[in-house]
Structure formats: C-alpha cells, structure tokens
C-alpha cells in the first residue's frame, strides 16, 4: 500500500527565510556593525559606514534583504552613539534606510547602477535628513547635509564598486 501526498495538500513554505539567506544577512549585518564604528563627522555622530553592506545586499540579493540589512545597520550605528535623536526617530531613520536600499535596487534594475548611485545618495543624503526638521529646524538640517551627503555617497559607491567587482567573478549567481 502506497500513500501519496498530493501537491495541493502540501503547505507552501515561505522561501525567503531560508537558512542560507538568514546566514548571509547575519554576515552582512555583522559587517554593518563594524561599519557603524567608522564614523563621518556630523552633528549627531550617526553618519557611518554602516549602510554599504545593506546597499550591496540590495543590488546583489534583492531589495528586501538589502533593506533589512540597511535598517539593522542604522540601528547599530545609533546604538553605538546612544540614540542621540531618540529611539523613535532612529527607528524612523531605520525605516528610511530600508526604503533607500529598496530604491537603490529598483533604480539599478530599471535604469542602471550609475543612476541608482545618484538617486540613492540624494534620497539618503538630502531627503533622509528631513526627519530632523521638526525637532532641530533648518539649522540642524543644513548642518547635517555635508556629512550625510558624503557618508551616503561613500557607502553607496563602495557598495556599487564591490558589486561590480564581485558580479564579474560570477560569485553572486
């Protein structure tokens, strides 16, 4: 007597949270933690090399994976400086980081990596700083712009260069 299980009776398994993907995200979050300790001068002290692993993950493995890594990267940076803008604001910034990584992936997929670098740097460096307007006004916003723009550009360019180098090797398949 054989018992066959029909495919209809077998529940669909979520294929996003595979052990391989979770391990890869953990490695990139660990890299973001190291980057969180390498700071750029800024009034808040939360501009760091924390988002390069997230941007790399986004263009290499998809927007969701990259967004998760980017969000955790910002939380680690904020934690290393004592959450200077408060926990709620830093959670909002982490959500912004998730969004910027997703936008980076989307523009790279739909246009090209060079346009994606510019768009993501603008989003992170100019739009992302808008979160401080209600509490710090235009003065804090303007004082954040130089460090945040440079930090954003460096993170994104490092991620793009790493992606271009590694993707030619065939290791990302």
Residue 85 included in any domain: yes
At 8, the pLDDT band (50, 70, 90 cuts) reads low
Q: Would the pLDDT of 42 be above 60?
A: yes
**118: nearest Cα among 132, 97, 103:** 103
* Number of domains composing the chain: 1
Res 169: pLDDT: 86
Mean pLDDT of 19-31: 96
Q: What is the CATH number of the domain that holds 121?
A: 1.10.1760.20
Other Cβ atoms closer than 10 A to 38? 13
pTM listed for this prediction? 0.89
Rounded to the nearest angstrom, the gap between the alpha carbon of residue 103 and the centroid of all alpha carbons in its chain is: 10
Q: Which of 114, 100, 109 is nearest to 69 (CA)?
A: 100
- Strand ranges, E, within 48-145: none
Whether residue 5 lies inside any domain: the answer is no
Judge whether 142 lies within some domain. Answer: yes
**Mean predicted confidence (pLDDT) in 33-59:** 95
Tell whether the model's pLDDT for residue 27 goes beyond 90. yes
Average pLDDT, the chain: 92
As a whole number of angstroms, the distance between CA 71 and CA 94 comes to 4
């Amino acid at each position: 007597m054989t018992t066959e299980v029909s495919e209809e009776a077998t529940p669909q398994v979520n294929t996003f949270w595979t052990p391989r993907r979770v391990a890869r995200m953990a490695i990139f979050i660990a890299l973001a933690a190291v980057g969180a300790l390498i700071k750029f001068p800024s009034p808040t002290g939360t501009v760091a090399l924390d988002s390069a692993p997230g941007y790399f993950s986004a263009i290499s493995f998809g927007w969701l994976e990259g967004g998760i890594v980017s969000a955790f990267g910002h939380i680690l940076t904020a934690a290393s400086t004592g959450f200077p803008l408060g926990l709620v604001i830093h959670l909002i910034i982490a959500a912004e980081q998730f969004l910027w990584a997703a936008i980076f992936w989307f523009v790279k997929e739909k246009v090209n990596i060079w346009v994606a670098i510019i768009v993501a740097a603008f989003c992170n460096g100019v739009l992302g700083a808008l979160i401080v307007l209600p509490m710090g006004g235009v003065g804090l916003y303007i004082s954040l712009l130089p460090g945040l723009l440079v930090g954003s550009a460096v993170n994104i360019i490092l991620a793009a260069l790493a992606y271009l180098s590694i993707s030619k090797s065939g290791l990302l398949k």
